[in-house]
Amino acid sequence: MKTKVIWTDREWKQLAQWFIDSGVDIEQYGFSGVVNRAQTAVLPADRHRAVKGVPAALKKEIKQHIFELGVQKRPKDPVTFVPEPPTAAQLSTEDLLVELARRVAKIVDTLVLLGQPQVMISPPVDRGFHPRHNPTPVESAKLKRPRILVVGPKGHQQETLRGRFPSLDLRFVTCEDNPTRCAAGILDEAILWTKFMNHAQQDTIKTLGYATWYANTLDEIEARLKKWCS
């Protein structure tokens, strides 16, 4: 049976310093995953601890050491933490899925910008005109519907939202779906229903750089979508 690891004061300070140097907000969502990144970066493998859920006592201890190191607020120009790129063998299955989703989204974005029919259905273009002089793109831009990814709602909930917000281009992902489905190309926003999503999906959306908004209830999702209709 593995002996329980109890961090020394020096190790606590090393973890706190990692948060400071990386410019990571300790209050951000997904604290457990960030702590795992921190201990992987600054502690040897035999000094790692299992972190489950949101350990309030652990967070409090790290915050205290950050305070003692003289940093109470995130610096204006934090030092960006740039880890060494991991090899494929070092990545977990979940990490590989996130990376795959990121690459798929980049390809989809490129195709959308090029107007490829596989991604976006466009009206026929008169090839006698140079695209720069074709008035069709300007016309299409006026009719463009905001594209929103909503993570959480299931079958009948999805249909209800589509019916209530026909002016929006809604894309849906359920909690059970593969994180790669979060790669929806160019988005105006991703709405995450906190009770019905998983961390892999959240990490994928964060990696893809989508603007994100969190909702606690279906009513909050509807309220947010109404703002996109105004």
What's the whole-model pTM score?
0.43
- Nearest Cα residue to 138 out of 129, 128, 148: 129
Amino acid at 98: V
Q: What is the DSSP letter of 45?
A: G
The region of weakest confidence among 35-39, 60-64, 103-107, 170-174 is 103-107
Residue ranges covered by each domain of the chain: 9-68, 93-123+133-229
On the question of pLDDT at 148 being above 80, the answer is: yes
Return the CATH number of 93-123+133-229, one of 3.40.50, 3.50.50, 2.20.200, 3.90.25: 3.40.50
- Nearest Cα residue to 212 out of 224, 222, 198: 224
140: left (phi over 0), alpha (psi -120 to 50) or beta: alpha
Q: What is the pLDDT of residues 191-228, one digit of tens each?
A: 999 999 999 999 999 888 899 999 999 999 999 999 99
Q: What is the pLDDT of residues 33-69, one digit of tens each?
A: 788 888 888 888 888 887 775 567 777 888 888 878 7
Give phi and psi for 6, each to the nearest 5: -115, 115
Q: Which tokens go with 200?
A: 């892999």
Whole-number Å distance between alpha carbons of 195 and 110: 33
